[in-house]
Amino acid sequence: MTSAGDDLSAHGAHFGKTSVSTIGLPDIACAETRALVRAWKKWRGWHVMPPYSAWADADLGPYLAYASVARIAEDGRDYEFEFIGDAHVRAYGADHRGKYVSDIVHLSPRFGRQLKASYDLVRISGRPHAFQGTVGADYPRARFVWFETAYLPLAGPDGVGYVLNAAVYRLREDTL
């Protein structure tokens, strides 16, 4: 399966500086991310967001690898990783299932704060948000050089209860 990130000529080299851009859902380039966003839209129907049960009952086939789900914890002060797909595990080198974003903040403060800000944006707005970016030399331990990600809200009893993350990563050659 090919995706937009496949045309990067320097999988082994970091870009100069990390750069992240906000994109609209129609601008998502990777087939895997698009498939999960399409599923989310189908589950949502005419509602602002689909219920968590739609995710829990879904058969996403090969696209499950590109999904992760975080439960909103401590009234939005933290997020617990409930599910982590294989693509996320390969990109980060660990399965953080059962861990919290606050654990990530302790491991990698800058990245952890950015991750929490992304989850907070979706929790507070109740809307999906998508990003594309390159990972530069300012993250020398990063296992990937490019990513595309969409954060998609899932309803809980009182608004956003979970966040479904759909993401594709282009790994550095030395991590393949």
Q: Residue 86 contacts by C-beta under 8 Å, 6 or more apart in sequence?
A: 65
**Domain 14-175: top CATH class:** alpha beta
Ranges of each domain in the chain:
14-175
What's the DSSP call for residue 75?
G
d(CA 109, CA 111): 6
Task: Give the CA count within 13 Å in the CB-facing half-sphere of 132.
Answer: 13
Q: What is the pLDDT of residues 17-65, one digit of tens each?
A: 888 999 999 999 999 999 999 999 999 999 999 999 999 999 999 999 9
Tell whether the model's pLDDT for residue 127 goes beyond 50: yes
- Can you say whether the dihedral through the CA atoms of 21, 34, 150, 91 is positive or negative? negative
The pLDDT of residue 11 is above 50: no
State pTM to two decimals.
0.89
Output the pLDDT for position 73. Answer: 96
Looking at residue 159, what DSSP letter applies?
Answer: E
Count Cα atoms within 13 angstroms, Cβ side, for 174: 7
- Residue length of the chain: 176
**What are the tokens at 167?**
């993401």
